[in-house]
Amino acid sequence: MTQTQANILIRSACAHELPHVLELIEAAFTQYTETPDEANGRSHAELFSAVYQRSDLDLDLLLVAEDTSTGQLLSMASFLPKPALIGERDINGVILSPVGTLPDCRGQGIAESVLRFGLQLAKEKGYAFSCVLGHPDYYPRVGYVQAFPWYRLNQTLPQTIGAGATARPYEKGDEQSLSALYNTERDGFFLKPNRTLSWWETELAHLGEHGRCFSDLRVFEQNGEIIGYASLGEQDDKLLLKEAHLLEKTHAPAVLNALYTLASERGKASVEATFPASTALGLQMKLQGATETVHAPSAWMMQVLDWEAWLEAYAIQTGMEMLVSYDEASQQLYVDGELQPALRLAPDALTKLSLGLFTVDELQALGQAALLQEHHALTLQQLFPKRSPYFNLNESLF
């Protein structure tokens, strides 16, 4: 599948072109801001050199824009497969990362064309949704909806650290316990990565390798029982919590004290988490005075590609007794197969409702949904109740 426009061919990359794609990524991210940053370009190229060697890469969804007169690659985007679950229903999505265009070719709409092409191809290949961490002024142009802010929690180490759990590196044989921990805490969330036991075994077999999920994994024990784990990183004087899950909420103080101890041993002044205070550990940090900030302007953005699969999974997960379907072209909702003329919603409004981000009244007040009669609004509210969303970029990339 290809698309041609004014001497520019948009297509899937070939395996032998990967070195050229990585050169493009390095050039694009070196000039990502007005001030050139060679280290930024090099680190992105190194990361995706490893990512593109993963066995789950769909090479069809590594897209390039080629100047047909010179053969030069001008822009690229990759959509990385992401198996997920809505309730117990398997649903496959793609994570958009990265998007890169040569500095001299920016502002011409080339990347936007690449993204539209890639999203259509992902849809045709059966992927049901796509996510991206990006600028909320740009990505809505190609259909993405701003879902969650990118949160950060920062906690300065206390002067006195209380007794904590025992922290140790991951050991072979921990996979079953870690899988159970993850699935237990994520059980109540609408959309979650599908981390099977096989996934854990594969990722942990490559622990510390570039382009994998975990580089520094710590397991926490209490009375001989594994009660939590955390994926760690370091930045300046901060110990970074990329991901953390607990067996029970009551274990949060012991695990947090263990993390404080680790940070102190590494000479760090604070602990920073890239997840909000809606997780057990995040809430404990907030209770102890952590500051919660939003890393603006970047936001986590979502686009539904297959509404039939999305809404079917939603109905199963929520126990909804009515069957809801959606005609995106007419923006019309159907309930139990019957057209509901008064229930018209744009894709971005329906996305936000299905994720539980807003009530119908809130969307109407924001001007993101047409005014509805009270009984129609009540019907939508029954179908799509507001929930506490959860977001963690690090869990979603790989």
pLDDT in tens, 148-168: 777 789 999 999 999 999 999
Domains delineated in the chain:
2-79+95-116 (3.40.630.30), 153-295+391-397 (3.40.630.30), 307-383 (no CATH)
Strand segments (E) across the chain = 2-5, 8-12, 62-67, 73-86, 89-101, 129-134, 145-156, 166-169, 191-193, 216-222, 225-235, 238-246, 270-273, 291-304, 324-327, 332-335, 338-344
Q: How confident is the model at residue 41 (pLDDT cuts 50, 70, 90)?
A: very high
CA–CA separation, 114 and 119 (whole Å):
9
Which residue type is seen at 182? Y
**Mean pLDDT of all residues in 31-44:** 92
CA–CA separation, 239 and 155 (whole Å):
10
pLDDT tens profile 182-230: 888 777 677 888 899 999 999 999 999 888 889 999 999 999 999 999 9
Q: Has residue 398 got a pLDDT over 70? A: no
pLDDT tens profile 337-371: 777 766 788 898 899 888 888 887 887 776 766 66
Per the prediction, the chain carries an average pLDDT of 89
Q: Has residue 318 got a pLDDT over 70? A: yes
Q: How confident is the model at residue 376 (pLDDT cuts 50, 70, 90)?
A: low
pLDDT tens profile 109-138: 999 999 999 999 999 999 999 999 888 899
**Mean pLDDT of all residues in 235-260:** 95
Q: Which ranges of 172-306 does DSSP label H, i.e. alpha helix?
A: 175-186, 197-205, 252-265, 280-287
Q: How confident is the model at residue 16 (pLDDT cuts 50, 70, 90)?
A: very high
Q: 333-364 burial by CB neighbour count: b if 16+ within 10 A, else e?
A: beeeeeeeeebbbeebbbbbbbbbbbbbeebb
Compute φ and ψ for 295, nearest 5 degrees.
-80, 80
Residue 370 confidence (pLDDT): 66
Token pair in block for residue 237: 């004087």
CA atoms within 13 A on the CB side of 374: 0
Residue 397 confidence (pLDDT): 64
Q: How confident is the model at residue 69 (pLDDT cuts 50, 70, 90)?
A: very high
**Mean pLDDT of all residues in 18-22:** 98
The residue ranking higher by pLDDT, 27 or 278, is 27
Which residue type is seen at 264? S
CA–CA separation, 112 and 309 (whole Å):
26
Residue 396 confidence (pLDDT): 65
CA–CA separation, 132 and 301 (whole Å):
5
The reported pTM is 0.89
Strand 129-134 to strand 225-235: parallel, antiparallel, or no bridges (unpaired)? unpaired
The residue ranking higher by pLDDT, 396 or 212, is 212
Residue 297 confidence (pLDDT): 74
Q: Has residue 172 got a pLDDT over 70? A: yes
Residue 374 confidence (pLDDT): 63
CA–CA separation, 262 and 166 (whole Å):
10
- With 0-12 / 13-18 / 19 or more C-beta atoms within 10 angstroms meaning exposed / middle / buried, residue 169 is exposed
Residue 317: in which H helix or E strand, if any?
helix 307-318
Question: CB–CB of 169/261 below 8 Å?
Answer: no
- With 0-12 / 13-18 / 19 or more C-beta atoms within 10 angstroms meaning exposed / middle / buried, residue 152 is middle
Strand 225-235 to strand 216-222: parallel, antiparallel, or no bridges (unpaired)? antiparallel
Reference 80, options 144, 4, 132; nearest CA is 132
Compute φ and ψ for 251, nearest 5 degrees.
-85, -5
Token pair in block for residue 289: 């005075």
CA–CA separation, 308 and 36 (whole Å):
45
Sign of CA dihedral 17, 18, 22, 28: positive
CA–CA separation, 218 and 76 (whole Å):
36
Which residue type is seen at 360? V
pLDDT tens profile 305-315: 999 999 988 88
Question: CB–CB of 136/101 below 8 Å?
Answer: no
**Mean pLDDT of all residues in 264-281:** 88
How much of the chain, in percent, has pLDDT values that exceed 90? 62
Compute φ and ψ for 20, nearest 5 degrees.
-70, -35
Residue 2 confidence (pLDDT): 64
Residue with token string 């509210």: 381
